[in-house]
Chain A
Amino acid sequence: SQQGEEDPQALSIQEGENATMNCSYKTSINNLQWYRQNSGRGLVHLILIRSNEREKHSGRLRVTLDTSKKSSSLLITASRAADTASYFCAPDSGGGADGLTFGKGTHLIIQP
């Protein structure tokens, strides 16, 4: 599968604010996934959006997908200190069993 490119590379906001991070990719996809990695831990799957979906919600997370622009965004509302982590997107072209590849991620810091 292709690698997504997250932007910005780093983001620092105050607790309670919303955090938005973006992902761009190059070729058509079946779905796009977002993962979180806390320091020293493995990646945790957050949300998956299929190519025929434009928006998806999960708790305080909102993901959008624009296949015409080959981009996705992840919005975290009402951020908390526990949201401090690195966030990765993974565009999936091959149905998910072909091995996701990951970029450098967005490192999000929530200031108390």
Chain B
Amino acid sequence: DAGVIQSPRHEVTEMGQEVTLRCKPISGHNSLFWYRQTMMRGLELLIYFNNNVPIDDSGMPEDRFSAKMPNASFSTLKIQPSEPRDSAVYFCASAPLQAAGFGYTFGSGTRLTVV
């Protein structure tokens, strides 16, 4: 298995532009998680899905952030409009739904820079 695949690896955009981050979870994993990591705030859980359904989005910082999972093999995290303080590394992770006994598999992340 190729693991969790995120794209792009790096994104540089101007303030006010729309940014879309993509994630392909491991086949057969029913849970998908989006995290954001910065030096100041560490790793923050933004939102997670079980069986493509958003379960908890309380970590989404503002209405500018939205996430979708249209099918079991694809998820997006969108920021519109983007701001410099959104600069961070965004990670996607997946896990089996009944995850007791299994850890999460993380992607390599998308490093977002908003200028």
Contact = CB atoms under 8 A, between A and B. Distances in A.
B105 A99 contact: no
B18 to A, nearest CB: 24
A95 B30 CA distance: 14
Contacts, number: 69
Interface in B71-115: 91, 93, 95, 97-109
The contact size tier of chain B is 20 to 34
The contact size tier of chain A is 20 to 34
A43 B31 contact: no
Contact of A31 (B100, B107, B109): B100
Contacts of A100: 33, 45, 104
Nearest to A41: B108
A33 interface: yes
A43 B95 contact: no
Interface of A: 30-31, 33, 35, 41-46, 48, 50, 88, 92, 95-105
